[in-house]
Amino acid sequence: MLRGDRMKRPTITDIAQRAGVTKAAVSFALNGKPGISAATRERILAIAEEIGFQPSSAARALTAGKSGVFGLVIDRPARTLGIEPFFMQLVSGIQADLAAHQVTLQFTMTEDADTEIELYRQWWAQRRVDGVFVVDLQVNDRRIAAIEQLRMPAVVIGTPRGAGSLPAVWQDDRGAVDAVVAYLTAHGHRRIARVGGRGAYWHTVLRGDAFAASAAAAGLTALSVEADYTAEHGAQATVSLLGSAEPPSAILYDNDVMAAAGLGVAHRMGVSVPDGVSIISWDDSALCELMHPALTALRRDIAGVGATAARMLREFAAGERPRSVQEDAPVLQARTSSGWAGVPELPVPGQARRTA
């Protein structure tokens, strides 16, 4: 074989020439279809193995109607994703399941919903994916209707309230907020705040509603500030809250990046943590444990969420109809960034009052 031939990827034509048969006969043999003798099939398969023939993903898709690929599109700036532990944990869970079943994950980023929808249309028309994961679910999300119209399998990582007819993996936001508010109430906090994410997202709306309702039920004063999950916006929101005439004694942040930024702002402003203000993060990660003081956080099995979504999408693409799944409730992991309020607290039933 010539050096140039050695660099060339073997094709069906190469097999046909060596076996002295037509390309159609090679296709029959490789795909297990009738129309050729057993001896011819064995000879063709032996030659294919000898020359290292591997069918392309495009050829497999045309033959079987499946690409063996699932898509994930995230509409966030690349710089934000580079420091956001949530998506890295989510992707690790998705990839762990898909790799175990010889399925490839195609991951990319877009700038807006229109670009994302067009990408879905191209992928589906060209048989480049067998389904997609939908993240960052928005109120009145146009992507859902577009996917339903395409009849493309998809799993939403977000609330079923905005998922249309698609199955979803979701968390109980009210339960998570109730756990935080109960903890803060028991530690004498009476004025608390939340730094949330973008108001267009369903999870931001649901967490905001839950925070207001839970605080009201506990008799607390609650403040909310919208941010965008970045350290810059988290810092700005913290400056605004701690610099106000009546600052909160505790702040819940919608992600660990903003919570870490808030901790830094408190230090620079001379506000002690946790004596001056308690800081809590919605998502737990290695970042929370590396901060000083370590950040109290709502611990979720984010990789487990990714693995569950992957299993559901595999089932959907195989013709089944998976049901929506509620993830395990987050657990509040108390660390040194939170504690008793640094202001005189009211007696709490069943809770001993802190003494000096």
pLDDT at 28: 83
CB 30 within 8 A of CB 23: no
Third-level CATH fold of 173-299: Rossmann fold (3.40.50)
What's the mean per-residue pLDDT of the chain?
89
pLDDT at 179: 96
Report the pLDDT averaged over residues 49-58: 70
User: Percentage of residues in the chain with pLDDT exceeding 90?
Assistant: 73
- pTM of the prediction? 0.78
Distance between start and end Cα atoms, the chain: 87
pLDDT at 70: 97
- Per domain, the residue ranges of the chain are 3-55, 69-170+303-328, 173-299
In angstroms, the CA 356 to CA 337 distance is 20
Third-level CATH fold of 3-55: 434 Repressor (Amino-terminal Domain) (1.10.260)
Q: Do domains 69-170+303-328 and 173-299 have the same CATH topology?
A: yes
Question: Residues 204-249: pLDDT tens digits?
Answer: 999 999 999 999 999 999 999 999 899 999 999 999 999 999 999 9
Nearest CA-CA partner of 143 in 180, 168, 113: 113
In angstroms, the CA 157 to CA 247 distance is 35
Phi, psi of 168 (to 5 degrees): -140, 155
The neighbour count for residue 47, using CB atoms within 10 Å, is 20
* Beta strands in the chain, from DSSP E residues, in sequence order: 69-74, 104-109, 132-134, 154-157, 168-170, 191-196, 221-226, 250-253, 278-281, 296-299, 325-326, 331-333
Third-level CATH fold of 69-170+303-328: Rossmann fold (3.40.50)
